[in-house]
Amino acid sequence: MKVLLLSCSTGEGHNSAAKAVGEAMTNVGIEWELKDPVSFNHEKSPKRIAKAYNDLIKRTPSLFGAVYKIGAAYEATRLPSPIYSLNAKYSEKLNDYIVSGGFDAVVTSHLYGMEALTAIMRNHPDHVPFFGIITDYTVIPFTRDTALDEYFIPHKDLAPHFEKKKMRSDNLIPTCIPVSPRFRMQISKEDARKELGLPVDKQIILIMSGGVGCESIKPLIKKFRKYGIPEDRFYCILAGNNAKLKETIAKSCSSDKVQAVGFTDKVHLYLKAADVVISKSGGLSSTEVAVANVPVVHFKPIPGCETCNARFYAAKGMSKLAKNSKEALKIAEALLENEAERQSMVEAQRREINAYSADDVVKRVVEVVEARNATEKE
């Protein structure tokens, strides 16, 4: 079996979800390939779109929130998605690639891929099975304009929200958001700290700024300088791809109490080493934290899907939501002193989040492809 995975680099979450499914496919001997769908429009399109999005998120997240609201308002008019027509333009090239590549199915973790595949479905009824992975705990604008064979959604309680958007209930599969199996690895807190070179005798608060390194964590750094850090505390800050942010942290904070880390493939180990996490509320990153079973404080969500993610997690008892930097630190410190509340949060994460989602996605894709092949042989 051969599967095409589609994702875009508008944040790292979409790519991480697709790669997690790819890992699960490799484990069962399925050949797969990952492509950016907009590359079929122009080879430079992926980098241009990624840069525009990441700059927006890092520098002016409030503007992203305004764009999100405009999209939601436009969708409410019932007019066709303006983005759909752009993605439909390269759909024939994408279809040629699917056919010539001999792919048995296509799985996309991004709206752009869903729209391009929807265009293919409308023009080519004999297409291979198409699947969509929803990577936020909400229905983002224009998802309703897509019509794939099946969608893997983050939680069963979100199904009614998709149904309200006139999406078919029988093709919504509540698997949860796929994350790498590394996040469910069994390793002690002490061993994780030793591997990362972190102190084993202090309580550690991990601050995650997202893959692009959002500037909104800077107020937290100012709080360190103003109020200081207790002797038994250690802060580890993941700055993502934002080199300037990492440099600012290193210059502003004491190295024996604060460590700044650039982009890393060891996020799972940093989570396992932490007592509490302060994090952006991206759908993928929130799921990674929950699968790793670490108490989390969501901090200053970007208006739009991140706000929905944070509210969903808080409502399920899986996180706390802070209004500002001062409150985020206050809540995190309080959690360090309250083992019962930390345990309650971890139990909620285990109850609500499926750590084996990537495996379940692959199982379903295989089931659909094999059923289709069997029908064609009859």
Per-residue pLDDT 10s for the chain (378 aa) are 999 999 998 778 899 999 999 999 999 999 999 999 999 987 777 777 767 666 666 666 667 677 777 778 877 777 777 788 889 999 999 999 999 999 999 999 999 999 999 999 999 999 999 999 999 999 998 899 899 999 999 999 999 999 998 899 999 999 999 999 999 999 999 999 999 999 999 999 999 876 444 555 666 766 666 556 778 889 898 887 766 777 776 666 666 788 888 888 999 999 999 999 999 899 999 999 999 999 999 988 888 899 999 999 999 999 999 988 789 989 999 999 999 999 999 999 999 999 999 999 999 999 999 999 888 776
pLDDT computed for residue 254 by the predictor:
61
pLDDT computed for residue 60 by the predictor:
63
pLDDT computed for residue 213 by the predictor:
43
pLDDT computed for residue 55 by the predictor:
64
pLDDT computed for residue 259 by the predictor:
85
pLDDT computed for residue 67 by the predictor:
74
β-bridge pairing 296-299 and 105-108: unpaired
The CA-to-CA distance between both ends of the chain, in Å, stands at 20
pLDDT computed for residue 353 by the predictor:
98
pLDDT computed for residue 150 by the predictor:
98
CB-neighbour burial class of residue 327 (10 A; exposed 0-12, middle 13-18, buried 19+):
middle
Question: Can you list the domains of the chain with their CATH numbers?
Answer: 2-179+356-377 (3.40.50.2000), 184-352 (3.40.50.2000)
- Is residue 116 a contact partner of residue 14, using CB atoms and an 8 Å limit? no
The backbone torsions φ and ψ at residue 5, rounded to the nearest 5 degrees and listed phi first, read -105, 135
* Cα 80 to Cα 61: distance, rounded to the nearest angstrom: 26
pLDDT computed for residue 212 by the predictor:
47
**Residue length of the chain:** 378
With residue 261 as reference, give the H or E element that holds it: strand 258-261
